[in-house]
Amino acid sequence: MDFKSWILDISSNEWLIFIKRLSANDTGATNSHQVGVYFPNTVLARVFPSIDRKDVKNPDTYFKALVESDDVAEQTLRVIYYNNRFSENKKGGRNEKRVTRWKDGVDYMPLQDPEKTGSIAIFAFNNKPNSDSEYMRAWVCRDFEEESFLESQLGEISSQESFFDQGDVVFGAFPLQKETKSEKYPEEWNEKFPSGLDIIQFLHSNNFHTGLDPDKRILKRREHEFNLFKLVENHHVLPLIQAGFNDVEEFIKLSNSITNRRKSRSGRSLELHLENIFREQGLFSFGTQCKTEGNKKPDFLFPNCASYHDNSFSTDNLRMLAVKTTVKDRWRQILNEARRLEKSYLFTLQQGVSENQFSEMVVEGVQLVVPLELHKSYPEKIRGNLLSLNDFIEDTKSIYD
């Protein structure tokens, strides 16, 4: 079955869908003692309600599983609730639900392949309200084309975001986020939908999260921006859905409008947040979307576009920063964006890469810049070679002070 047909097959209320990007901890790239894909407690509690109890120590159950993207043979997996914090009243005890036995009885498991770190994984559990799921179907996106198709339906899927709901909701024409916190925003947004830039500038001009260091600030603002977007989207779209449609064409028009708006919001969101944080931290010497060789457009050039095109300007004082929420299969796109420079800086929110992927980046002169809080999600051998956002800013400022 091809990927699009597989998605169509699980797009009904018969399936509970969980979608995430695989972290280095998920795939085993960090050699963590916790082996296997992480699922939030709330997800496993809904899929396997029988284990969601605290009166019995470590309740568990078993289910069948098939990873169809790689033709992995059917397995029996175990889901267990480590709950001795409650069942034994153990201070500092565990309160965690896990799925285990991923490698049992199979020669290859893509969900435990470090080279799949950063890939999008889709898990479909057969939906049995108030009863445990008996079967799981999974797909690990195999290439950029499959990921692009999925994100064209759902919007950007970063390492910090996940989806969980019935298949007909997740893959429906209007997969709106149901749980949004009430928050004040400009009244005019109720009349005209704000652009992604409008939301980002609202957070910046009102000094949201400025008390945090740059590494925490970028993560918090991204989360805040997305929550505001969902809140405004619900305000605009829910009444239209509830009113119904006169014909299919009207339905499709609204569906396309929603999808295009989500793409537009996520397009340059991360770069715009970084622009604001650079200035807030006193780094003003940069150019954005400058044209370089072959009409390439790196996200940031330091100190500016003109200096890059001035052959008398020392390359020691030039820097290029590319920005990508995820880097798997995408990091090579930046290699020729600034040919004058032997080293390229790449900012990402991806939670880990494999040691092999990182070695390839080093050979190609790519230096990863990652928010400090995400460093722990990278293999231990790699962490010392990562730059935090604050380190990048301060080091870059020192060149031009």
Question: Which of 308, 345, 378, 400 is the catalytic position?
Answer: 308
Residue 345 catalytic?
Answer: no
At 45, list the tokens: 């509690």
Query: ∠34-92-38 over CA atoms, to 5°?
Result: 25
Query: ∠327-331-337 over CA atoms, to 5°?
Result: 140
Contact, 164 vs 81, CB < 8 A? no
Name every residue whose Cβ is closer than 8 Å to that of residue 312 and which is 6 or more positions away in sequence.
none
Q: Where are the beta strands (DSSP E) in 327-398?
A: 344-348, 366-369
Pick from 337, 324, 334, 333: nearest CA to 295: 337
Name every residue whose Cβ is closer than 8 Å to that of residue 142 and which is 6 or more positions away in sequence.
3, 69, 70
Pick from 224, 213, 162, 215: nearest CA to 373: 215
Partners of 345 in the β-ladder: 321, 367
In whole angstroms, what is the distance from residue 259 CA to residue 368 CA?
Answer: 31
Active site residues: 308
